[in-house]
């Protein structure tokens, strides 16, 4: 993942981001909801009730300034300063992208920035994103230790642990699982960050 600037940002700031999330859990009422808001997601109806989401950045509404200021100032600042996340693609005078077609024409941003929470014993079946014109990096901010949570992409399964950072082309079929740990009561939470493919020209 180090080849992607977004993954490097998550790695470099992982401790601060995890601390902010842990403090949020202690101080705030649960503001997660079931609205994914990644409108190009394939098989989205099958995912309802699985993941829950806490959005820092919504595709059409922008950053949640209140949530950022109150609980996630470092997280939001470092990602706002990262052009592939919050930058716009080069366009002509008509607003058409100069670098890609299809998915990128329909969206000003590559996708949301959000914490994804998966309860103990829950899984998300095979699904995929809309395009490889955008990629994702994820930071695992909470997970049961001991191999109880995993991510599988195109048949390759990897155990995930707290502090892990990985890149993901979510246009490939993938699925996730959270066994919940020895007592089957631990949630799995990742910070999911969509960003434009490095091959595209992004303007901060």
**Residues 180-196 pLDDT 10s:** 888 888 999 999 999 98
**pLDDT in the model for residue 152:** 94
Question: Where are the chain's structural domains?
Answer: 5-203
- Output the pLDDT for position 89: 75
Residues in the chain predicted with pLDDT less than 50, given as ranges, are 44-45, 48-49
Per-residue pLDDT, 109: 79
CB under 8 Å, gap of 24 or more: what pairs does 75-79 form?
Answer: 75/13, 75/16, 75/17, 75/20, 75/21, 75/191, 78/9, 78/13, 79/6, 79/9, 79/113, 79/193
The pTM assigned to this predicted structure is 0.88
The dotted CATH code for 5-203 is 2.60.120.330
Task: Say what the pLDDT of residue 59 is.
Answer: 79
Strands (DSSP E) found in 86-178: 88-89, 113-118, 123-127, 134-142, 149-153, 156-159, 165-168, 174-178
Give tens-digit pLDDT for 116-145.
Answer: 999 999 988 888 888 888 899 999 999 998
């Amino acid at each position: 993942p180090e080849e992607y600037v977004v993954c490097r940002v998550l790695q470099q700031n992982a401790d601060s981001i995890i601390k902010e999330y842990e403090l949020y859990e202690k101080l705030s009422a649960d503001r997660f909801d079931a609205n994914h808001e990644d409108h190009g997601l394939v098989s989205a109806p099958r995912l309802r009730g699985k993941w829950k989401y806490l959005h820092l950045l919504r595709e059409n509404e922008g950053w949640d300034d209140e949530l950022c200021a109150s609980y996630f100032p470092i997280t939001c600042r470092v990602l706002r300063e990262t052009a592939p996340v919050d930058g716009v693609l080069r366009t002509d005078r008509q607003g058409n992208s100069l670098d890609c077609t299809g998915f990128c024409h329909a969206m000003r941003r590559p996708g949301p920035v959000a914490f994804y929470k998966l309860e103990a014993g829950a899984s998300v079946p095979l699904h995929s994103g809309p395009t490889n014109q955008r990629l994702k990096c994820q930071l695992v901010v909470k997970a049961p230790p001991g191999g109880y949570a995993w991510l599988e992409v195109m048949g390759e399964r990897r155990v995930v642990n707290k502090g892990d950072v990985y890149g993901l082309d979510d246009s490939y079929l993938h699925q996730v699982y959270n066994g919940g740990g020895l007592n089957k009561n631990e949630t799995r939470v990742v910070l999911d960050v969509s960003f434009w493919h490095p091959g595209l020209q992004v303007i901060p």
